[in-house]
Structure 1
Amino acid sequence: MGILKHANDHMHYMGEMMRRTDTDPSKASGPAGEAFLRGSIVRCLFCKHGEECREWLEEGNTHCDAPAFCRNAGHFQNFRDNR
């Protein structure tokens, strides 16, 4: 897989995961919001569970926590708890 396709796929997965877990980065502005997004992107880009993520998203899960395999699961939860 080419690096650009990998990055594009993972950014799509991350956006969908955030939407489905009700993680709205617009709730944090300024440096806190930027740091949250930067951390989320790095975790997602280096994740080895892209296929599992795609399958989980295809199942149509919404309004729930991210699955355990998601490198951002705790990061998203902390963000939602502290907004």
Structure 2
Amino acid sequence: MSVLDIFSRLTQQADLMDAMMDKLGVADEMRSMPDHAAVLRRAANRCLTCDRPDSCQEWLGHETNPDEAPGFCKNHDLFDRVLDQMAVETAPTA
């Protein structure tokens, strides 16, 4: 694998992760988290080790308003926790 291939893969995976966060509506919330740089770095590392970027690209292209990330996503649990936290923060108080 050439250096250009490696950079191409890194760029593709980073773009997919950004697209997934945008599609789920968690991007702003994740960027405002305490220690967000470390959280995003770990998420990016999980994304980089994903062996299903084609499935991710296809899912992103077909889903319009998803409730959660696809089950095969290595960041599914992280995104789920963020979505749950967002729901708590926006829930009306009793």
**TM (normalized to structure 1)?**
0.84
* Structure 2 unaligned regions, length at least 5: 87-94
Shift, 1:62, TM fit: 2.6
Q: Which has the higher contact order (CA 8 A, sep 6+)?
A: 1
- Residues 66-77 of structure 1: matches in 2 within 5 Å? 66-77=69-80
Where 2:70 maps in the other structure, the secondary structure is: coil
The answer for the alignment partner of 2:43 in structure 1 is 40
Whether 2:38 is the aligned partner of 1:27: answer: no
The answer for the alignment partner of 1:5 in structure 2 is 8
Shift, 1:58, TM fit: 1.3
- Aligned residues of 1:22 and 1:63 also touching (Cα < 8 A): no
Write out the 4+ residue segments of structure 1 that deviate beyond 4 Å after TM superposition.
none
Counterpart of 1:57, as a letter, is: L
| Offset from partner CA, 1:35-57 (integer Å, 9 cap, x none) | 21011100101100100001111
Equivalent pairs: percent with the same residue? 28
Distance, in Å, in 2 between the alignment partners of 1:34 and 1:82 is: 18
Shift, 1:11, TM fit: 0.5
**TM (normalized to structure 2)?**
0.75
Work out the number of aligned pairs and report it: 81
The answer for the alignment partner of 2:91 in structure 1 is none
